Structure formats: structure tokens, C-alpha cells
Amino acid sequence: MTREVIFICLSRLYRMMWALYPASFRAEFCDEIMCDFEDAADRAWIEGGWLSVVLLVIRDACDVARNLVVVWFRTGTLTLIGVSATCSALLFELVALQGVAPTNPLFVPLHLLWLATAGAVVLCSIAFARYHARSAT
């Protein structure tokens, strides 16, 4: 396989990884990231051949995966989806709990579970708010 073919295949694969990121992030940084990758891949090829280029892609893929959730949370979209979904689930659970008779042995555990989940949602929301407030440090 020639160098050009390897580079074209890996560049396409590399660009595809970034499709997982928010559109706003890609619009702002994708061109720069691809430019950096081309430079880094050139250097890796000179230093260690195709294996070094593949290792570079793997290392960057790990970095992409590690930061994926953080970047999505920063856009606020994932936080909003998560909180909305949990609140909806809690609401449905509360309605369903109305059908459980107080004499049912599961009455107390189910209500406690509901309270614990609601508390966890509140704590997570506070944690995310704090994270956003000090995300740059």
C-alpha cells in the first residue's frame, strides 16, 4: 500500500471520528484539527512508517473518546436531554406509584426509591451547574 492510500484512508477515518462531536465544535475547529493531523501524520511517517501513523490515529481516537461527553455537556444539549428524560421518568413513576396501595409491602421501598432518584437528579443538576461555572480552571 502506498503512503498516499494509507493517508487518504486514515484521514477519512479520522474525520469520521469527529462526526461524534457537536456541530458547533466541528464548525469551529475541524479544519484546524485536520491540518494538525496532516502535519502530525507526516512527522509520524518519517519517524516510524505506517505503524507510527496508525498509533497516532489510535492515540487521538482515545483522546476523542475521553473528551466526547465533556464537550457535549459544555454545549448543554446532553445535560438538557438527560435532565428532561429523568424528570419525565420520575413523573411517570410518580403516577404509577398512585396505583400502589399503602398496605402493599412495596409501598415504602418504592416511595423511598423515588425520593432517592429525585434527590440524585437535584444533586447531579447542582454538580453540572458547578462544573459549567468553573469549567475553564
Partner 1 sequence: MASPLSSIVLHILLALAEGKRHGYAIAEEAAAQSDGAVRLGPATLYGTLQRLLDKGWISTAEAPQGVDERRRYYRLTSAGRLALDAEISRMDNLVRKVRLARGKLIASK
Binder of partner 1 out of 8, 13, 23, 31 (CB under 8 A): 31
Binder of partner 1 out of 9, 13, 23, 34 (CB under 8 A): 34
Contact segment (CB under 8 A) with partner 1 among 44-52, 70-78, 94-102, 105-113 equals 70-78
Residue 61: closest CA among 19, 22, 89: 19
Cβ burial, residue 106 (10 Å; 0-12/13-18/19+): exposed
Binder of partner 1 out of 2, 98, 103, 137 (CB under 8 A): 137
Work out whether 98 is an interface residue with partner 1 (CB under 8 A): no
| 15 backbone dihedrals φ, ψ, rounded to 5° | -65, -35
Least distance (Å) from partner 1 to the CB of residue 60?
A: 6
HEC-encoded secondary structure of 91-132: HHHHHHHCCCCCCCCCHHHHHHHHHHHHHHHHHHHHHHHHHH
Work out whether 71 is an interface residue with partner 1 (CB under 8 A): yes
Work out whether 50 is an interface residue with partner 1 (CB under 8 A): no
Q: By C-beta, is 3 or 132 nearer to partner 1?
A: 132
CA distance 30 to 46: 24
The H-or-E segment that residue 33 falls in is helix 23-75
Positions in the binding site for partner 1 (CB under 8 A): 21, 25, 28-29, 31-37, 39-40, 59-60, 62-64, 66-68, 70-71, 74, 134-137
